[in-house]
Amino acid sequence: MMRFILTINAGSSSIRFAFYQAGGTLEKQLHGKVDRIGSHDTTLTFSEAGDAGRSLAVPEGTSAAEFLVDWLEQQPVFQQVTAVGHRIVHGMHHSAPERITAELLEELRSISFYDPEHLPREIELIEAIQKRHPQLPQTACFDTAFHQTMPRVAKLLGIPRRYEAQGVQRYGFHGLSYAYLMEELVHLGDDAARHGRVILAHLGNGASLAAVREGQGMDTSMGFTPASGVVMSTRSGDLDPGLVSYLSRTEGMTAAQFQHLVNHESGLLGVSETSSDMRDLLEKESTDVRAAEAVALFCYQAKKCIGSFAAALGGIDTLVFAGGIGENCAPVRSRICEGLGFLGIEIHAQRNENGEAIISTVSGRVKVRVIRTDEELMIARLVLRMAEQ
């Protein structure tokens, strides 16, 4: 009988973790985050149920993965863990969670260059736990799995067909968040989750949107890598491919330098030249045109994406905002939805300002919701379901 599940969600600059007690429901007991990995002020912040939270400084030069495993082993709850679930950002053609075996781990190593911003750290965490606790089952929960149902035309890239055999196609990401949001829509009794047309907007440091029809993913804004799609906090979103050649010729930029540019120096940070944080930019936009343009670009691209997905779906019944920006930033939600009345999207100003669960007007044909996403809980659910099979 499973007692506790440990979930690990490794991002490009942070690692989120949580312990869930598996009983009648999954109850979070201890959770935290290792943040600003690689910088001089890397910290581990954690809190138990009902606890306000505490922080520890990670010694400079110390591996974040090893430090986290050391710390986890000191927690009494860790001794009761019977399974570990990992968010694996890139899963290629895997369409369901899988038990991590030597063969799967080798496969992940072989494709790590598909997503160098995430996979190496995720593999490092798996190996760190495996080394210390080889008998502890670990499960890979793939972020790309949700999008495996996309029609072939939505996966194709307009390059020579021979590259498809190498796995070069549109995959999509944020799948664990999207899976959670769709389950929440079912729980809320929203008929569109099973029988209608849904657009999900996961807007955070990483931002993407997904089009869903009758519960199946039909398209998404991210493609071959998580740097594509709409503009994000530090990621560029889609770019003209000619830019690679231009920067190579004019600045001698290498592939590695371009990779760093589009993942860490671009997006809101690159346009504003001051901050990657939407909250900072909204405060500055009245006095700083660069901040104002960064916010405008973010909202404009999200709006365009909603319009294109409505066209792909043949309309829209429900729009969901999630992620740190989508859940907490009323002005951004308002600006994205402004002018979309022709699609049936109408925002109630006060409900939006209050951050209510439903922010659309009574007369609007589209139900617009705000749902707090929970990737870690989705991982725990998937691990538990595997154990019960």
- 228-254 average pLDDT score: 97
Residue 337: partners with Cβ closer than 8 Å, 6 or more residues away? 303, 319, 345, 346, 347, 368
Mean pLDDT, the chain, rounded, equals: 95
What is the reported pLDDT for 91?
Answer: 92
Structure tokens at 126: 């798996």
Three-state secondary structure along the chain? CCCEEEEEEECCCEEEEEEEEECCCEEEEEEEEEECCCCCCCEEEEEECCCCCEEEECCCCCCHHHHHHHHHHCCHHHHHEEEEEEEECCCCCCCCCEECCHHHHHHHHHCHHHCCCCHHHHHHHHHHHHHHCCCCCEEEEECCHHHHHCCHHHHCCCCCHHHHHHCCCCCCCCHHHHHHHHHHHHHCCCCHHHHCEEEEEEECCCEEEEEEECCEEEEECCCCCCCCCCCCCCCCCCCCCHHHHHHHHHHCCCHHHHHHHHHHCCHHHHHHCCCCCHHHHHHHCCCCHHHHHHHHHHHHHHHHHHHHHHHHHCCCCEEEEEHHHHHHCHHHHHHHHCCCHHHCCCECHHHHHHCCCECECCCCCCEEEECCCCHHHHHHHHHHHHHHC
Over residues 102-120, the mean pLDDT reads 93
Q: Measured between alpha carbons, how far is residue 178 from residues 21, 138, 375 in Å? A: 23, 22, 9
pLDDT at 366: 98
Instruction: Please check the confidence at residue 243 and state whether its pLDDT lies above 60.
Output: yes
- Residue 1 scores a pLDDT above 70: no
Q: Which of 139, 176, 146, 131 is nearest to 6 (CA)?
A: 139
Any idea which of 58-67, 198-207, 272-281 has the lowest mean pLDDT?
Answer: 58-67
Q: How confident is the model at residue 50 (pLDDT cuts 50, 70, 90)?
A: low
Ordered by start, the domain boundaries in the chain are 4-142, 192-370
Half-sphere exposure of 356 (CA within 13 A, CB side): 14
* pLDDT at 52 exceeding the cut of 80: no
Question: Could you give the strand order of the β-sheet that contains 138-142, starting from the edge strand earlier in sequence?
Answer: 54-57, 43-48, 26-35, 14-22, 4-10, 81-88, 138-142, 98-99
Contact by Cβ (8 Å): 247, 253: yes
Average pLDDT value for residue range 255-263: 96
Question: Of the residues 115, 143, 190, 374, which is catalytic?
Answer: 143
Reading the block at residue 232, the tokens are 């994000």
pLDDT band at 303 (very low <50, low <70, confident <90, very high): very high
Q: Which class is 192-370 in CATH?
A: alpha beta
Residue 39 confidence (pLDDT): 85
Q: Determine the average pLDDT of the residues in 16-28.
A: 91
Token readout for 66 is 């090893």
Fold topology of 4-142: Nucleotidyltransferase; domain 5 (3.30.420)
- Residue 24 above 80 pLDDT? no
Confidence band for 2, pLDDT divided at 50, 70 and 90: low
pLDDT digits (tens, 9 = 90+) for 342-385: 999 999 999 999 999 999 999 999 999 999 999 999 999 999 99
Rounded-to-integer distance, Cα 293 and Cα 297, Å: 6
Q: CA 275, CA 270: separation in Å to the nearest integer?
A: 8
Among 225, 217, 221, 194, which residue's Cα sits nearest to residue 209? 221
Report, as an integer, the average pLDDT of 288-309: 98
pLDDT at 387: 85
Q: Is the pLDDT of residue 388 over 90?
A: no
Identical fold for domains 4-142 and 192-370, yes or no, is yes
**pLDDT value at position 324?**
96
CA-CA distances (angstroms) from residue 22 to 33, 75, 213, 382?
Answer: 21, 17, 32, 12
Residues in CB range of 157: below 8 A, 6 or more apart: 163, 164, 168, 169, 170, 223, 224
Asked if 231 and 268 count as a contact pair (C-beta separation under 8 A), the reply is yes
Q: Among 4-18, 139-153, 228-242, where is mean pLDDT lowest?
A: 4-18
Among this protein's residues, is 143 annotated catalytic?
Answer: yes
Other CB atoms closer than 10 Å to residue 351's CB: what's the count? 17
